[in-house]
Amino acid sequence: MNRSATASEIQKVLVVDDEESIRGLFELALESEGRTARSCSSGRAALDLVGRDSFDLILLDLRMPGLSGIDVLREMRRMADKTRVVICSAFIPPMAFVEAVRFGVTTFVAKPVTLNVLRRVVSDALESRWPAPLCSALRLVNEMRHEEALEAISEAKDETNHRACDLWVRLLDGILSNAPKTELAPLGQALGAMVLTRN
């Protein structure tokens, strides 16, 4: 984002993390790119902010006192809030990965994270790692349109032969068919290893 952007174009990002140092680092990275950053230290505070304001992106920790990141995601989607979310966590268990995907998350960042990596992830949260056809399909995941996403990713697989496509197809198919979590966990682990952005 360039600094000459008008007020209506300035992106607003919410940082949700219980560590003050992380919040400060993320705010610095966001504001240095001309974005507006707000932060809070708990899931409950995040839901209060989301209920009162709109954001272009939320950087969400998984492990926090009280409500977890998954709890926040679940409640946001119950409120019909479809703000794009990036999970930023030191450890992402396979089932938490699956649950996050179920609620429309496709971008995951491992902490600790450098400012440069964070800036890149924020700039192209959904599109940073995939061929264009898969990017389009993953937008449908972000909107929780899982059936359409499954069809689009199947088509992207034929077009790109990207190795992530098969894992996305199997994971979404399992989510749609309410497969047992024990069956989905290995898929979450395999796909998580592929999509997790590291330094």
CATH number, position 82: 3.40.50.2300
Residue 2 counted as domain residue: no
23 and 118 in one domain? yes
Residues 146, 167: Cα–Cα separation, whole Å: 14
86 and 173 in one domain? no
| Contact between 38 and 15 (Cβ < 8 Å) | yes
Secondary structure letter of residue 19 according to DSSP: -
Preceding amide of 93 cis, omega within 30? no
CB atoms under 10 Å from CB of 125, counted, come to 21
Residue 33 counted as domain residue: yes
Specify the pTM: 0.82
Which of 149, 158, 157 has its CA nearest to residue 176? 149
State residue 68's pLDDT score: 94
What stretches of 96-163 adopt beta strand conformation (E)? 107-110
145 backbone dihedrals φ, ψ, rounded to 5°: -95, 70
Please report, in tens digits, the pLDDT of each residue of the chain (199 residues total): 334 344 447 789 999 999 999 999 999 999 998 999 999 999 999 999 999 999 999 999 999 999 999 999 999 999 988 888 999 998 888 889 999 999 988 888 888 888 888 888 888 674 555 667 777 788 888 888 899 999 998 888 877 767 778 888 889 999 999 888 888 888 888 888 777 776 6
Last-in-domain residue among 123, 158, 173: 123
51 and 110 in one domain? yes
Residue 3 counted as domain residue: no
Residues 113, 109: Cα–Cα separation, whole Å: 7
Residues 135, 115: Cα–Cα separation, whole Å: 24
Strand order in the sheet with 107-110: 36-40, 12-16, 57-60, 84-89, 107-110, 196-197
Q: DSSP for 53-103, please give it.
A: S--SEEEE-S--SSS-HHHHHHHHHHTT---EEEEEES---HHHHHHHHHT
Q: How many domains does the chain have?
A: 2
The answer to whether the Cα torsion of 21, 22, 27, 30 is positive or negative is: positive
